[in-house]
A and B are shown apart, each in its own frame.
Chain A
Amino acid sequence: MGAVATRKAFGDAILRMGEDPRVVVLTGDLKNSTNVEDFAAKFPDRFIDVGIAEKNMLGVAAGLALSGKIPWACSFAAFNANRLEVVRLSIAYNRANVRIVGTHVGIGIGDDGATQMALEDIAAMRALPNMAVIQPCDEVETHRAVEYLMEHDGPAFLRLMRQGTDAVHDGAYRFAFGEADALRDGGDVALIATGALVQSALAAADELAADGVSARVLNVHTLQPFDAQAVAEAARACGKVVAAEDHNVNGGLGSAVAEAIAEAGVGARLVRVGLRSFGESGKTDELYAKYGLDGAGVARAARSLLERGR
C-alpha cells in the first residue's frame, strides 16, 4: 500500500460516520482540500459551507454541538485552530462537542509555503482546558481516531497532514486515546514523535540499528491529554530522548516531553527536532531534509546525544 494522506483517510472515515444523523460537516470553502466532498454529496442537508469565514464556522459548530449534534469543522489548521479566540470561548470554555479538523499542518504541505503552514496550533490547543488534541500518523490510525471521536465527550482538535505517509499500522491496530503507541522497544535512545515524524523516527531507528544503537520509538498520537508516564518511562530507560514534530519546538510535543521528564524528576538529555522559524516553499522531502525532519535528521539528533554521552 502506498503513502496515504491522513486528510484523505479522514474524508473516507467521515463518510462512514455520516450514517449517524448527529454528524454535521462544516467547511470554509475547502471541501476539496479537506476531503469532505463525498460527504457533501451524500449528506447535503448536513453539510454547511460558511465560505471564507472560519470564525463563524467555529461558532456555528459550537451552537450545533450544544444542540446535540457532532459537528466537524474542517479547514486548514492555519485557519481554524488559529482562530484561537473563538476556539477558546465558543468551543473550549463552553465544552462544546466540536471536532476541529485542521489539515495541511507543518512544513510538510510543501509548495504553498509559510502562510498556510500551521506550526503553532498544537501549542495553542494544548493550552486550552477541555480540548483533546489528536494527530494520527497514518491511514489506519486516522480511521480509528475518527471512530473514537464519535464517542468522545468534549471538544477535540484533529491534526491532519496534506502529504501522504506510509502505513505504520495494520487493520488490527487498536487506538487508545491518551496512551502513547509503543512502536519499537530499545534502550539506548528514545525517539518520541508525532504525525509524519513517526515515519521519520522509524527510519532513524533503522539507520541507528545498523550502527548497533537500539532506539525505542513512541508514537504520540494524543498530545492532550499527554501520556507523561510513558514518556518519563522511556526517558528513565534510555537516558537520551529525541522529541520530533512538524511544529514549532516551543509549546508542542517537544515542550510536552520536556515537561514530562522534568516533572517526573528523571535525569535525561533531550533534543527537540522541529521548527524554530516559519516555514517556506519547497517540496516536502526537500523541506524535511533542510529542517532536519526526515529520518536522517532524527538520526542525526539521536547521534548528537549519543556522542555527548551521559
Chain B
Amino acid sequence: MPGTATQTADMESLRRLSQELRVKIIEMLVEAGSGHPGGSLSEIDMLVCLYFGGILRYRADEPAWPDRDRFVLSKGHCTPGYYSVLARAGFFSEELLPTFRKLESPLQGHPDRTRLAGVELSAGSLGQGLSAAVGMAFAARLDDAEWQTYCMCGDGESQSGHIWEAIMCAGNYKLDNLTAIVDYNQVQQTGMVAEIQDLEPFADKFRAFKWNVLEIDGHDHRACLDALTSARDHRGAPTAIISNTKKGKGVSWMELDYNWHGKAPSAEEAGRAIAEIMGGRA
C-alpha cells in the first residue's frame, strides 16, 4: 500500500517513540545495575510497531479482555524493551520502570504474568514461548475467535529443539492465526549465532516446516508494519517474520558486540549511549 502523508507522519512518530524507549531501556539498565541491553535495543522497533502501529488489539485498562490479541515474549530476558513498551501502552505507570529487578517489584528480571498485568506468559528459560503461543492459537481456533497470537523469539533460542517441535506442530496444524517474529539480531550471549550454531538457511527451514515466511529489516518501521499486516491476513499457514536486526542497535559501540548481551552500562556509558540515541543515529 503506498504511503500517504499521514502514514509518513505516523512512521516519524513511531521512529521517535522507538528513540524515546531506547533511552528508557538504558535508564532502566543503569538504575538496575544489571540486565540485557543488546536484545532490548534490537527488538524495540518491532515492538513499537506491534503495540503502537495499530496491529495488536489490547485494552490496557482491561488486560484480561477476552478478545485481545496475545503477545508472548519468548526471549524473556529482553524485559527492558518489553516493559518500556507495556508502560507506554498504559498497562502500568512509567514510574515503576526504575524498580526493574528490585525486591518486590512486579518488574522481575524476566517477565512474570502473575505479577504484571499485560504479560501473557512468564518466560525466560529459552525455547519455551512458542509452544505456549501455539496453545493460545489452538484455543482461539477452538472458540472460533478472531484474536491473533504473536510470539517473539530470539535467534539464539532458535537453536533449541523445543522451538522446532512447536514450529513443526503449528505448520502441520496450519495455525494461520499465529505469527512468530524472530528477532534475528545475530548475536547471542557468548558470540555470533552463525559461529556458535548457525541457523542458516533459516527461512528455508521454516518453509520446510510449512510456514509462510517474510524476511525484513527489523529496524525499518514501515517494513515491520507491512509484514505484521501481511502475516495477520495470511491464510492457510502460520507466518514467520524473520526480523533482521542488530543486537545493541542505536548505540554504535554496543552493536553486534556479545559483551553487551547481559551487562548494564555504567552511569558514564549510559550518558554516552543516551546522547548517541538522541543524536539520531538510531
Contacts and interface: CB of A to CB of B under 8 A. Distances in A.
Interface of A: 24, 45-46, 48, 50-51, 53, 55-56, 58-69, 71, 85-86, 88-90, 93-95
B5 interface: no
Interface stretch (B138-146, B206-214, B220-228, B253-261): B138-146
A64 B136 contact: yes
Contacts of A48: 138, 173
Given A62-B132, A66-B121, 16 more contacts: A48-B138, A53-B168, A56-B131, A56-B166, A58-B131, A59-B162, A59-B166, A60-B132, A60-B134, A63-B121, A85-B125, A86-B128, A86-B162, A89-B123, A90-B131, A94-B113
A90 B132 contact: yes
Contacts of A66: 113, 120-121, 132, 135-136
A244 B48 CA distance: 57
A93 B138 CA distance: 21
Contacts of B173: 48
Nearest to A56: B165
Contact of B135 (A46, A51, A55, A59): A59
B169 A60 contact: yes
Contacts of B169: 50-51, 53, 56, 60
Contacts of B140: 67
Highest count of chain B CB atoms <10 Å: which of A51, A55, A66, A67: A67
Nearest to B138: A64
B123 to A, nearest CB: 7
Interface of B: 66, 70, 112-114, 120-125, 128, 130-140, 142, 161-162, 165-166, 168-169, 173
A64 B135 contact: yes
Nearest to A64: B135
A249 to B, nearest CB: 29
A93 B132 CA distance: 13
B contact face: mostly helix, strand, loop, or mixed: helix
B131 A46 contact: no
Given A56-B131, A90-B131, A94-B113, A67 B139 contact: yes
B121 A94 contact: yes
Nearest to B173: A48
A71 B135 contact: yes
B122 A55 contact: no
A52 B125 CA distance: 21
A63 B131 contact: yes
A67 B135 contact: yes
Contacts, number: 101
Contacts of B161: 55
B128 A67 contact: no
Highest count of chain B CB atoms <10 Å: which of A45, A53, A85, A89: A89
Contacts of B112: 93
Highest count of chain A CB atoms <10 Å: which of B130, B133, B137, B162: B162
B125 A59 contact: no
B142 A69 contact: yes
A60 B121 contact: no
Highest count of chain A CB atoms <10 Å: which of B128, B130, B132, B138: B132
A58 B173 CA distance: 17
Nearest to A21: B142
Highest count of chain A CB atoms <10 Å: which of B66, B125, B161: B125
Q: For the complex of A and B, list the 9 residue pairs with the smallest distance between their C-beta atoms, beginning with the closest.
A: A63-B135, A59-B131, A67-B139, A56-B165, A53-B165, A63-B132, A60-B135, A63-B136, A64-B135
Nearest to B124: A89
A48 B173 CA distance: 9
Contacts of A71: 135
A181 B113 CA distance: 36
Contacts of A64: 135-136, 138-139
Nearest to A69: B139
A89 B120 CA distance: 13
A65 B120 CA distance: 12
A216 to B, nearest CB: 40
Contact of A56 (B120, B124, B134, B142): B134
A61 B142 contact: no
22 contacts: A45-B142, A48-B173, A55-B131, A56-B165, A59-B128, A60-B135, A62-B121, A63-B137, A63-B139, A65-B135, A66-B113, A66-B121, A66-B136, A67-B70, A67-B136, A67-B140, A69-B139, A86-B162, A89-B125, A90-B131, A90-B132, A94-B121
A88 B173 CA distance: 26
Contacts of B139: 63-64, 67-69
Contacts of B138: 24, 48, 60, 63-64
A101 to B, nearest CB: 16
A80 to B, nearest CB: 13
B106 to A, nearest CB: 15
A282 to B, nearest CB: 33
Contacts of B162: 55-56, 59, 86
A66 B134 CA distance: 12
A116 to B, nearest CB: 20
A153 to B, nearest CB: 13
Contact of A61 (B121, B124, B135): B135
